[in-house]
Amino acid sequence: MSQLFRLSWRNLFRNPRRTAASLLTVALGAAGLLIYQGFNEGIMNQYRENTIRVRYGHGQVYPKGYREKVMEKPWTAWIEDPAAVEARILAVPGVKAVFPRVAFYSFVTKGELTLAGRGEGIMPERENRFFTAMNFEEGHDLQASDEIVLGKGLARSLDAKPGDRITLLAQTVRGQLNGADLRVAGIFHTGAKEFDDAYFRIDLKAAQALLDTQRVEHLALQTGGVEDWPHVSAALRSALPALEPIAFDELDKVYYKNSVDFLEAQFSFIRLVILFIVALGIFNTIAVGLLERAPEIGALRANGETRGRLLRILVCENALLGVLGGLLGIVVAVLLDRTVMASGIPMPPGPGITRQFRIFLEIQPQHFGQALALPVLTTIVASLHPVLKLLRRKIPDLLISH
């Protein structure tokens, strides 16, 4: 095996120009794969972080069956003793923080303007430490119980700015009309148009007073990371069977999950295109090189070399070519990531989003293996046809080839 490797390595550099052309083709393909995969990962992670750190956390816990039903009086199914439930959830391994919330609809009034809005009552002293992607364009996040923060679209429709007074009118759980007078603390712009055009947030106690209830609708959770959620979810289902944990990607299929599925499918297609281009380039270079080496192959066969041994030598040569080209491509991609693309790539708003993002390449360790293995495999597959075609020729035909 070592002799086969040494012979293949030596043959690889007998024609430096041809080898350099092949290495460049493979390297560019490997670099393209790695850069695009890092870019794709950067987009998906940006989407994920925006989804987690704006609205949902790593997941949320609802009363079992609550989200699948349309209820005339939904507050009757809300969590009745949130403090006790929260304590039991915090006892589950992997849960770092719990954020009780109440979601409700109300009229939002400023002066003579009245709009319908959807609000959330939250605990700002907890949420401000984790939900850091609200992107406040004016003012600041909630800090007091008499404050309200508005989505950019809702604030624009109301012509509201920080410091203005807003009146909320909502129906209590007993069917009575109740109101709250609040001061605008800030205006956020998450990029999700549906959210920014209708949502506002107020303090949880103010929301409960407005609705005349001590219950909470659901609890958002912070875990150790996305990878912890399956274990946390299973533990919650076992410890609290009356509650239903739901992951953030299930809660936001339209904005996050569908976007990720689309990007994954797009990357798979582009990966095939890149590998096909690499295969065509390698096929052409190898085919030309083998034609030039036909007399050499004929002489080796005339001296007793078998087709099987020659096949192993030539395949080993091309595998080495793929390895070297893949390694060179990885070096090129890493250099570009740390120099030209170090400041990120500004991207226009995506479908359904109104906010621009700056995407950074996020090349993961597993990406290096793929950027190396796929070009090697492509190089070997692309070389098999010309190699087998050459080895099937008769010795006299090989010796008289020019």
Please give, one letter per residue, the 3-state secondary structure of 125-142: HHHHHHCCCCCEEEECCC
The answer to whether residues 330 and 27 touch, using CB atoms and an 8 Å cutoff, is no
Q: Which residues of 147-157 are buried (b: 16+ CB within 10 A; e: fewer)?
A: bbbbbbbbbeb
- Which of the four pLDDT bands, split at 50, 70 and 90, describes residue 308? confident
Residues 167 and 29 in one domain: no
The answer to whether residues 132 and 140 touch, using CB atoms and an 8 Å cutoff, is no
Residues 262 and 235 in one domain: no
Closest CA to 330 of 22, 15, 108, 23: 23
Residues 232 and 96 in one domain: yes
Residues 35 and 94 in one domain: no
Closest CA to 137 of 196, 194, 181: 196
Residues 139-163 have pLDDT tens digits of 999 999 999 999 999 999 999 999 9
The domain tally of the chain equals 2
Residues 81 and 229 in one domain: yes
- Which of the four pLDDT bands, split at 50, 70 and 90, describes residue 402? low
Residues 208-242 have pLDDT tens digits of 999 999 999 999 999 999 999 999 999 999 999 99
Q: Say whether pLDDT at 20 is over 60.
A: yes
pLDDT at 328: 93
Residues 173 and 288 in one domain: no
pLDDT at 401: 60
Residue 148 is given by DSSP the state: E
pLDDT at 191: 85
Is 249 domain-assigned? no
Q: Say whether pLDDT at 35 is over 60.
A: yes
Is 247 domain-assigned? no
Cα separation, 184 vs 146, whole angstroms:
9
Is 392 domain-assigned? yes
Cα separation, 304 vs 213, whole angstroms:
92
Pair of tokens at residue 226? 């996305």
Q: Say whether pLDDT at 352 is over 80.
A: no
pLDDT at 218: 96
Look at residues 241, 269, 304 and tell me which one is the last residue of a structural domain. 241
Lowest mean pLDDT among 108-122, 143-157, 303-317: 303-317
- Which of the four pLDDT bands, split at 50, 70 and 90, describes residue 292? confident
Residues 185 and 293 in one domain: no
Domain membership of residue 10 as a residue range: 2-51+256-399
Q: Which residue has the higher pLDDT, 22 or 93?
A: 93
